[in-house]
Amino acid sequence: MNDEPDRTEGEGGASDADERVIDANERVNEAESADEKESTFLVTHAEADSAVLKDVHDGQVHTLRSNPGLDVDDAVEATIAPDPPMEVTYRVLEVTERRRLAIEESEEPPTVHERELAAETPTGELAREPRAGVGEVHVLTPPEATTADAVADVLDDREATLSRAARLGVNRVEVRSEPGIVSVRYMP
């Protein structure tokens, strides 16, 4: 014998079927939030109806089923999730920040400080130093005869250079050089 009164749906009690639906919905919501990814992404490809994002922290590439107005070389702080049921494309759930990234070669020579860093760095090595405020300065010391090639490598590896800029939270990359020194300045 049961001491609890029988409830009907009209009396405000949830039926077993309602509870099963609520439980199933909670599991779906938990699964969706578990698959969500919040990160900083570089837009590597963009068309009117799709875009490709590269996570600048883990290198994973995500194809979006639609383009929410992103352009190549944008850095976005976003939350994405896979599209059901196949989960091969992604959708953007939220964009919290979007900034345009640029990379350019400057005609200016490296600064005095960058030359000092280069003098302390063996040929063929890299020195990194935080900038005052935001960003970093990377000083490469290629052999003098290959300085132009080193500059070309930095500019040609656009995706890696801009991914680093996005990771550092800056908008601009400036490359300066003189024989035996290449400075890559990651700046706001």
Centre a 10 Å sphere on the Cβ of residue 109 and count the other Cβ atoms it contains.
13
Integer angstrom CA distances of residue 182 from 46, 107, 123: 31, 12, 11
- 183's CB contacts (< 8 A; 6+ apart) are 110, 111, 114, 137, 138, 139, 140, 175, 176, 177
Is residue 51 within 8 A of residue 80, CB to CB? The reply is no
Its sign, for the CA torsion 152, 157, 158, 162, is negative
In angstroms, the first-to-last Cα distance of the chain is: 74
3-class DSSP assignment, residue 19? helix
How far is it, in rounded angstroms, from Cα 155 to Cα 11? 71
- 72's CB contacts (< 8 A; 6+ apart) are 43, 44, 45, 46
Predicted confidence pLDDT, tens digits, the chain (188 residues): 555 555 444 455 555 655 555 554 454 454 455 689 999 999 999 999 999 999 999 999 999 999 999 999 999 999 999 998 888 999 999 999 999 999 999 999 999 999 999 999 999 999 999 998 899 999 999 999 999 999 999 999 999 999 999 999 999 999 999 999 999 999 99
How far is it, in rounded angstroms, from Cα 46 to Cα 51? 4
DSSP-H helix ranges across the chain: 16-35, 112-120, 147-156, 158-168
What is the structure's pLDDT at 95?
96
Q: What is the pTM of this model?
A: 0.79
How far is it, in rounded angstroms, from Cα 187 to Cα 8? 66
What is the structure's pLDDT at 16?
62
